[in-house]
Each structure stands twice: as structure tokens, then as C-alpha cells.
């Protein structure tokens, strides 16, 4: 759980952003992955990745920086290793 002292600091997105609450975002991520409307965790992850990529995460911005990289949004193969 969170280690913040003020109770209710992550009761909504605004508070979670203001307090940088990792447990809130982890919970939201799990809800997206475990979405019962999708056909399992694999499909849930692919849908989450689609949303994340649509926000521009995991792609190059195209700015003039020689060290620019696209970021890492792994595919399911990375998580399905034995």
C-alpha cells in the first residue's frame, strides 16, 4: 500500500496524480488487464498497450535530440517467459 500519511490521498485520479501514488496506478493497471469484458489477461494487456501507444508512449516524439529513444512498452512475450 501507499506510505503517504494523509488518508484518502488516492481516492481519485486527481489525488493520485497530486500525490504520485504508485499503488493507485498499479490498481488501475490491474483492473485494465483483468477486465472481464476481454478474453483473458493477454487480451487485456494488448488493449492496455493499444491505449498507452495511442497516448504517444512508446514512440519517438520526433524532437531534435540525438539521444531520443522511443521508450519501452514491451509485448506480451516479455512477460510470458519461463
pLDDT in tens, 26-62: 888 899 899 999 988 889 999 999 998 888 888 877 8
CA distance 78 to 5: 36
- Retrieve residue 39's grid coordinates: 478474453
pLDDT of res. 9 = 60
3-class DSSP state of 22: helix
- Retrieve residue 77's grid coordinates: 512475450
pLDDT of res. 37 = 92
* C-alpha pair distances (Å), 10 with each of 29, 52, 57: 14, 21, 23
Indicate the pTM of the whole model: 0.67
Please tell me the number of Cα atoms within 13 Å of 46 on its side-chain side: 7
Amino acid at each position: 500500500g501507499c506510505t503517504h500519511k494523509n488518508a484518502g490521498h488516492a481516492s481519485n485520479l486527481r489525488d493520485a496524480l497530486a500525490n504520485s501514488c504508485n499503488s493507485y496506478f498499479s490498481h488501475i493497471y490491474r483492473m485494465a488487464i483483468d477486465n472481464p469484458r476481454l478474453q483473458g489477461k493477454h487480451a487485456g494487456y494488448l488493449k492496455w498497450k493499444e491505449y498507452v501507444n495511442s497516448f504517444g508512449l512508446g514512440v519517438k516524439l520526433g524532437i531534435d535530440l540525438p539521444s531520443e529513444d522511443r521508450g519501452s512498452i514491451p509485448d506480451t512475450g516479455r512477460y510470458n517467459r519461463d
